[in-house]
Structure 1
Amino acid sequence: MRPRVAAAAACVVLGLGLIGGAVTGSWLTGDDSAPSGSPSAFVAAGGLWHSVPVDKLFPATVDGTGAGPGGADRTWTRIAVAPDSGCKDAFDPLLRKALAPVGCLRLLRATYMDATRSHVTTVGLLFTKADTTAMSALKTRFKTEDLGRRTDLMPRPYAAKGTVAAGFGDDQRASWTLSVLTDAPVVVYAVSGFADGRSVTDPQPAAEAIQAGATTAPAQAGLGHEAQGLADRIERGLRKTVTSATEKPS
Structure 2
Amino acid sequence: MFDQPAGHAEPRRSRLLGWGSRPRVAAAAACVVLGIGLIGGAVTGSWLGDSDGPGGDSGFSSAAELWHNVPVDDLFPPTVDGRGAGPGGADRTWTRIAVAPDDTCADAFDPLLRKALAPAGCRRLLRATYVDATQSHVTTVGLLFTKADPAGMSALARRFDDDGLSRRPDLMPRPYAAKGTAAAHFGARQRASWTVSVLTDAPVVAFAVSGWADGREVDTSQPAAEAMQSGATTAPGQAGLGNEAQGLTDRIERRLRQTVSPSTETPS
TM over 0.5: yes
Task: Determine if the alignment matches structure 1 residue 174 to structure 2 residue 192.
Answer: yes
Return the match for 1:132 from 150, 153, 156.
Answer: 150
Q: Which residue of 1 aligns with 2:59?
A: 41
Larger Rg: 1
Please tell me the residue identity of whatever aligns with 1:188: A
CA spacing shift, 1:46–1:216, aligned 2, 3 Å = same
SS of the equivalent of 1:143 reads helix
CA spacing shift, 1:36–1:167, aligned 2, 3 Å = farther
Task: Determine if the alignment matches structure 1 residue 213 to structure 2 residue 231.
Answer: yes
Q: Which residue of 1 aligns with 2:108?
A: 90
Instruction: Count how many residue pairs are aligned between Structure 1 and Structure 2.
Output: 217
Please tell me the residue identity of whatever aligns with 1:166: A
Following TM superposition, the consecutive aligned residue runs of length 4 or more in structure 1 with deviations greater than 3 angstroms are none
Please tell me the residue identity of whatever aligns with 1:192: S
- Contact 1:85/1:108 (8 A) holds in 2: yes
Instruction: State the Cα deviation string for residues 65-114 of structure 1 (Å, max 9, x = none).
Output: 00000000000000000011100110000000000000000000000000
Unaligned ranges ≥5, structure 1: 1-23, 246-250
Alpha-carbon RMSD: 1.7
- Contact 1:44/1:242 (8 A) holds in 2: no
SS of the equivalent of 1:88 reads coil
Please tell me the residue identity of whatever aligns with 1:94: L
Return the match for 2:90 from 72, 80, 98.
Answer: 72
Normalised TM-score (structure 1): 0.84
SS of the equivalent of 2:261 reads helix
What's the offset of the Cα at 1:40? Answer: 2.2
- Contact 1:174/1:203 (8 A) holds in 2: yes
Normalised TM-score (structure 2): 0.78
Determine which structure has the larger helix proportion and give its number.
1
Q: Which residue of 2 aligns with 1:119?
A: 137
- C-alpha distance in 2 between matches for 1:36 and 1:192: 36
Task: Determine if the alignment matches structure 1 residue 238 to structure 2 residue 256.
Answer: yes
- Contact 1:102/1:138 (8 A) holds in 2: yes
Return the match for 2:245 from 227, 232, 235.
Answer: 227
Q: Which residue of 2 aligns with 1:148?
A: 166
Instruction: State the Cα deviation string for residues 154-200 of structure 1 (Å, max 9, x = none).
Output: 00000000001000000000000000001000000000000000000
- C-alpha distance in 1 between matches for 2:168 and 2:59: 31
Instruction: State the Cα deviation string for residues 139-158 of structure 1 (Å, max 9, x = none).
Output: 00000000011000000000
CA spacing shift, 1:137–1:78, aligned 2, 3 Å = same
